[in-house]
Amino acid sequence: MDDTELDSLILKLYDIGAVKFGTFKLKSGLMSPIYFDLRVMVSYPAVMNQVSSLLYKRAEDAGARFDCVCGVPYTALPLATIICSTKRVPMLIRRKEAKAYGTKRMVEGLIRPGDMCLIVEDVVTSGSSVLETTQVLQGEGLKVRDAVVLLDREQGGSGHLAAEGIALHPVISISKLLSVLVEAGHVDASTSGSVERFLQANPACRPMRQAEESLGYGERAALPGTHPLAARLFTLMEEKTSNLCVSADVSSADELLKLADAVGPLVCALKTHVDVLCDFSPAVSVRLGELAKTSTTI
């Protein structure tokens, strides 16, 4: 892919406000110092056309073979539409929720079981959105082997999808984007460095497979790759037959310890902020730890 074309696209995306620095909450709940709001592209037809053509070229360069294309709702829907219209490839639309009337279909368009479908996405973090769309298509008998994405945040999504048999082909990597923005003077080297450190230190969690959602808490605790703290929480939820967590927003140590003592046997976790206690001391933490042990609470 032509480097000059990519550099100019990155600068255009920055100019139209699709690249934002600050503090943003991701789908997973993780707070991120960078966010890509590619929804704004719909107001810039030239950018939409350029992005769609680069996505298609990326699929071609990767040697992807497909009979139809499906965009991950919603941002990638217009991108998939442009690709399908200009390249004359049949398109499928995955509904986010089935209609309560009419056909109640989850996938619109002509479905031919056994056809290979190319997935189109705007941004990948964990890969969960690509995987959700893939699973719906697979449920209709379609096959998915390749996904093209405009921007890979490089937080592990590519590996997660590879483990599910899907090859992810990104047009822009976040490292390339940061270096172009630093070069153009839009971002200073220290901001770029801290974003890169954040991305390296915060790999996205592996997306849950549909089959896992129906497992019991104990079975989920035993799955390979489950974080030890998550495994402990699942185990407690199973043992205590409770999925309750109490938010102890009280202002005195006495109230906090009394509440912890009373609800401990009924909940799996208690969360609080010691900075809202007017009389916090290290002894409060010690006592809270003892109560957590006796009532097996996190």
Which residues contact ligand LLZGTKA7 by CB under 6 A?
26-27, 35-36, 72, 75, 122-129, 157, 204
Residue 99 amino acid letter? K
Contact 104, 68 (CB under 8 A): no
Report the nearest approach of ligand LLZGTKA7 to the CB of residue 5 (Å): 22
C-beta closer to ligand LLZGTKA7: residue 35 or 280: 35
How far apart CA 166 and CA 242 sit, in angstroms, is 36
The least distance separating ligand LLZGTKA7 from the CB of residue 123, rounded to whole angstroms, comes to: 4
CB of 37 to ligand LLZGTKA7, least distance (A): 6
Helix axes 253-263, 282-294, angle to 10 degrees: 10
Smallest separation, CB 271 to ligand LLZGTKA7 (Å):
24
| Cβ distance to ligand LLZGTKA7 smaller for residue 47 or 268 | 47
Distance CA 47, CA 239 (A): 54
Rounded to whole angstroms, the Cα distance separating 158 from 57 reads 19
- 36/56 with CB nearer ligand LLZGTKA7: 36
36 vs 38: CA distance, rounded Å: 6
Q: Confirm if 148 and 119 have CB atoms less than 8 A apart.
A: yes
Name the residue nearer to ligand LLZGTKA7 (CB basis): 41 or 288.
Answer: 41
Residue 29 carries which side chain, given as an amino acid letter?
A: G
Which CB, 129 or 192, lies closer to ligand LLZGTKA7? 129
**146 CA to centre of own chain:** 18
Min dist CB 74 to ligand LLZGTKA7, Å, is: 8
Burial class (CB in 10 A: 0-12, 13-18, 19+), 256: buried
